[in-house]
Every structure is written in C-alpha cells, then in structure tokens.
Amino acid sequence: MSKSIFKLKSKFKPAGDQIKAIEQLSKSRTESDLNKDNKPNISTLLGVTGSGKTFTIANVIANQNKKVLILAPNKTLAAQLYEEFSLFFPENKVCYFVSYYDYYQPESYLPAQDIYIAKETKVNAELERLRIEAAASIINRPDTIVIASVSCIYSLGNPQDYRELAFSLELGQNLSRTELLRKLVFIQYERNDIEKSSGTFQVFGNSVEVQLPYQREKLRIEIFDDKIEALQWVDKNNNNILMNLDNTLIFPAKHFVTTQEKKDRAIISIEKELNSWLPEIKNDLYSHRLKTRITHDLEMIKETGYCSGIENYSVHFEGRAKGEKPFCLLDFFQDDFLLIIDESHIALPQLNGMYQGDRSRKQNLIDFGFRLPSALDNRPLKFDEIEKYFKDVIFISATPSEYEYKNSSLIVEQIIRPTGLVDPLIIVQEREGQIEHLISQIKETKSKGFRSLVTVLTKKLAEELAYYLEREMINVCYLHSSIKTPERTEILHKLRLGVFDCVVGVNLLREGLDLPEVALVAIMDADVESFLRDKRSLIQTVGRAARNTESKVIFYADKITKSMELAITETNRRRALQIAYNKDHNISPVTVQREVSKSISKIQEAIALSSKSNKKKKVNKIDSDIDILDNITKLEKLMQEAADNFDFEKAIELRQKWFELKSLLK
C-alpha cells in the first residue's frame, strides 16, 4: 500500500488487544482494496469500555488512504470524537457536521385539536459554518475526516450543483468588480459592510473581502482595471496578511444552491403539481389553503429565489423522480470512503427509525392542505438506502446487536485494556433491605475516596431516591432527560470533584461517560425485564465501573433473569481473559488517572458562544420596555385583524411572536 495521507500523532503506542485489532482491521481494508471485487467490506470492533477503541480506529485510519466519515448517535458524543481525532490528526482536516439548529420545531398539524404549528428554528451560526466547512473539505481535500451525528442522513443540497457552482480565481484573471460581486451573490453570499459574519462579503473601493464559511481566515481580493492583482488570506481579527495566493477556489455559502435554469424549471414543476393535485382535494377549505400558500411561495421564489420551507420543494429543484432518495452528506463522499459507525447498537436503530417519523408528520400536512405531496420527498434516507453506502464500514460497540453479527465478515474483539483494568465483580443482592444496603455501600465507597452511580427505571424514582439519600446525609443529585445538557455536564463535573458522592439516574448513565472516580455501580430492579434491563443495557451500565481497580457492581434483584444471566456470563468471560492476560504479562492494573476538567469540549464552547451571541442580537433589537409594549400592542391589533379575516394560520404565527415579546418584558 502507498504511504498514507493521514498522519497520526500520539505519545501512546498500541497495547493490549489494540495491537491485534489494528492489524486485523487494517489488513481487511488493504486486502479489500487489492481484490477490487466490489463486495462490501463490513467489520465490527467489539471493544469493551475503556479499551481505547478510538485510538484503535485512529490507527486503522492512518493505515489507509480514503476519506473518512464517522457517525455518532448524538451531538455530545460527536463533539467528543471531534476533539479526540483533531488531536490524533493535527496535520489533516478533521470536520464536524451535526444539525445546525439550537432550537428546532418542525412544521406540523394536529388534526384532533385542529392546531397548525409553524416551523420555528434558531440556527447556530458556528454550526452552520462547520457544516459548510465539512462539505467544502470533502470535495477539496483527500485527507478529510468528518465527524457527524446520525442527522446527516437528512436531505441536503445536490453535491454536483455545489461543485459546479464553485468558481476559481487566479492572479491576473480578467474579472471586473461587478462581475465578482454578481458571482458571490449568485452562490448565496450576502453583502454586509457592518456585520462581518460567515457567508458575507465587504467592499472597500477596489478591495473585496469574503468571509468564507469554511475558512477561519478571510479572503481579500484586490481588483484594478478589471484584473485580479492580489489574492490574500487575511487574519479576521487584526487584518494581518497571512499568505499571498496564486489562485483559490470559492465554494457556495450554503449547501442548498441551484442554477437559474433549475430554478425556472422548478417553478414550472411546482405549478404543474399544484394544478394536478387541487382537483384531488374534496374539502374547499383545504383546497383554498393550499392554493394560497403555494402561490405565495412561488411568488417568493420568483422574486428572491427563496421562501420559508423551500426544502419541501427540493424534489422540483433537483429534478428527482417521485420516491427517489434525496441527496445527503454521504453523497458528497462519492463512492470510495471509509464509514465508521460508533456505538452502532444505538446508531443503527436511530438510522432505521428516522424515515417513518418524518413521513407520519408530513402526511398530516398534505392531507389537510398545508403541503403538496412532493413534500414527502424531502426526507431522511430509508434504512435500505443507507445500507447501499455500507461498502467499507466498521461498526464499533461494546454490545453489538444481531445486525452487526449477521452482516460483518470480520468481528474483532478488543477485551484486554492497555491499563490492565479488568471488568468489575457483579454481586446479586436481594431486594429486602436494599435501601439500607445501598446506603452502606455508598458510604463505604466514599470512605475510600471514590464515587457511586445508581440506576433506576423512571425519572420519578430517580428523584425520590435522591431525596431519600439526601436525608441520609449523602451528597447526591439525580440525573435524567429533563435536565438540559449543560446542567448534566455540571453535575458530572461535580461528581468527579467530590461535591457529590453519588448520582442517581435512568438511562443517561450508560454510553459515553468517562468517570474514573466511580467505584460502585448499583442497578435497582435489575430483574425487571425491559429495554433498560436487557443484556445489552446491563453490560453497558456495568461498563461505567470499568475504569477503577476498586470497582464493583450490585444487581438488586430477587431472581436472576435471562438478561442478567447473559450479562453476568459475558462479564465473567471477559474478566477471566483479562486476569489471565495480566498474569501472563506480569501487569498490575492501575486506576485511570484523568484531569478533572469541565467536560464541555472546545467545539461545544464555540457553539455555545455563538448561541449566546444570537440571543444577544435578538434582545438588542428592542432597546427598552416601552418599545416592547409598543410592539405587543401592534401585534395584538394584527392578531385581531387576522382572526376577523379567518386567517388563523397568520394569527397563530403572530401569537407566537406575541408570547416571545411578553417573555422579554418579564
């Protein structure tokens, strides 16, 4: 194999089962390249918690020459992976691609209550910049690694249009300033000489500065006598010239871009669908509603090239056939790339379920005259469509599902940890007197300088148990889905610091937690067969205690269920292999030592700052309470007028704005 384009930087060397896993996974990819038989190359890395799966995958990436897409089940895990791979590959391009919304309320209609809910979103500028940076890098750099959440299977612009609408600039090129500005506007850059945000450009005489959404530096273009005299990367903060360029390529400011020809064709196609669908609607109210809405959208597209909810017309702009899959991020990679799906036992079911949920919501909008049937084609991919991208894929999980076992030609176990740590002992304790026993175990764990995690089945139980433990003089906090992500981060940070001795939670205490200070994991109601107490969930929860030499796990149960038996058997199998390896290699296990710092990553911090900036701008639009009251009065008048005209959709939209202003006043 030729020299890899990926340069792995790490002070660590592979150890334990990492050596075997890297060799097997890398060899399988090399042999697949040599065979060229077009058969899917599907592997699974079964790595126990704390075995260094990310480091193993980094080594596999460094041993091959394809672009890489890594899928994570959620934004938090994606951000964690982004930080890790950025450190592993500082000389390569590591990108982050997740949903760019701080807040997203999809358009929907509730027939039972006769309530229409308009789409409401708040776009995070930093997330949008990172998404465009990822798309541009995939096209422009062969050494690109993209970390994405599973939402990347949602409809995205046509990568072919994105490529074709990019334009190059060269020193000495004949190009007038007017023509340059026209080109920038056409690919959705906006002129804004005051607010120099991503996707804007500024004009200063013969100089044009472009804030490229995929570049941290701004591009300065000097034009004199209709000729490009200088191209420069310029620092955005102090305006220092960082590099002089001979040429460069400018990609569109957004993913959804199209040519004038396609826009004209889309307008005709939308009108045609409207005219053919209206006779199918038997209810006059629904028919009138749809005709009014689509006519308004068409006028907006003709005048501005855009309308609210334009994504619902994507099939018309892209010229796709009915039912044909939409474009998504995976299409930007073209045919040959390495796909890695982290925590696959969670991610694969998520990928499998997105399509049906989206379709159900849209069908109501179509049935009641809010959308054309073609809105159904603006959708996430179906699972069988996603599977067509599984040409070179690695699933990663400590507990693979039946799908991974059935479809993988290679399953690599990574049981031995580089630290020598072994899986914890599992003790089954009867329920009678369980609370007193739990309290004694938490206090004993605290006396050793360690922390405890307790898992229960419901949010209410988590709160009640936490209150009870608090009365018993235990520093405790509960953790469940009603607590927002920043607060969860703060709670776990305080657990590591020792502010809390114990955290009681539901399902959030499974994947992705790295808490070396935890030496006790207690699972209440372990014998209640359910999703939260099946074999996979139990093994994942046991894994939270796998970073400390003093660890133990207690199953509170009156009987041993099939799931408990399978989880205990598998844990004991792994524990035996680990103990035997340590004995053969004279290894003494050591508790993981990790600096206690805020677990929010740098990228999450930048995203949070962008979100706060958006809120500040919104509030600054209204300078005083007098202005707010004036706006509320105007909205109330408009709401009444809309209701009198039976324009209830407009009234609901105005009411939402009225609520927002009332909250600002408070």
Q: What is the pLDDT of residues 358-387, one digit of tens each?
A: 888 899 999 999 999 999 998 999 999 999
**pLDDT at position 382:** 93
Q: What is the mean pLDDT of residues 574-598?
A: 83
Pairing of strands 207-210, 200-204: antiparallel
Lowest model confidence (mean pLDDT) among 128-132, 516-520, 524-528: 128-132
Residue 65's contacts (CB-CB under 8 Å, 6 or more residues apart) are 1, 2, 4, 5, 6, 142
Please report which confidence band the pLDDT of residue 238 belongs to, taking 50, 70 and 90 as the band edges.
confident
Give pLDDT, residue 620: 47
Let me know the angle formed at the C-alpha of 81 by 99 and 602, rounded to the nearest 5 degrees: 75
Please report the pLDDT score of residue 477 as a whole number: 93
Q: What is the pLDDT of residues 493-505, one digit of tens each?
A: 888 888 999 999 9
Residue 460 has pLDDT above 70, yes or no: yes
Q: What is the pLDDT of residue 573?
A: 95
- Cα–Cα–Cα angle for 232, 235, 236, nearest 5°? 115
Residue 210 backbone dihedrals phi, psi, to 5 degrees: -115, 125
Segment (H or E) for 271: helix 260-277
> How far is residue 371's CA from residue 380's CA, in Å, rounded to a whole number?
17
**pLDDT number for residue 25:** 95
Instruction: Decide if 661 contacts 631 (C-beta within 8 A).
Output: yes
φ/ψ of 349, rounded to 5, equals: -60, -35
Q: Cα(414)–Cα(401) distance, rounded to whole angstroms? A: 16
Check residue 622 and give its pLDDT: 38
Q: According to the model, what pLDDT value does residue 135 have?
A: 87
The answer, yes or no, to whether residue 614 has pLDDT greater than 60, is no
Q: What pairs with residue 429 in β-bridges?
A: 556
Mean local confidence (pLDDT), 32-37:
55
Q: Does the pLDDT of residue 36 top 60, yes or no?
A: no
From residue 473, alpha-carbon distances to 239, 435, 442, 506 in Å are: 58, 14, 11, 22
pLDDT of residue 249: 87
Is the per-residue pLDDT at 485 higher than 70? no
Question: Quick one: which H or E segment has residue 567?
Answer: helix 562-584
- Confidence grade of residue 618 (pLDDT, cut at 50, 70, 90): very low
Please say if the pLDDT value at position 247 is more than 90: no
Mean pLDDT of all residues belonging to the chain: 86
State the pLDDT at residue 118.
Answer: 84
- Of 510, 76, 149, 509, the closest CA to residue 351 belongs to 149
Map tokens 């474009």 to a residue. Answer: 327
What per-residue string of b and e applies to 433-462 under the rule 16 or more CB within 10 Å gives b?
ebeebbbebbeebbeeebbbbbbbbebebb
Question: CA dist 273 to 138, 221, 277, Å?
Answer: 35, 44, 6
The CA distance from 224 to 609, in Å, is 39
pLDDT tens by residue, 159-213: 888 888 888 899 999 999 999 999 998 888 989 988 888 889 999 989 999 998 8
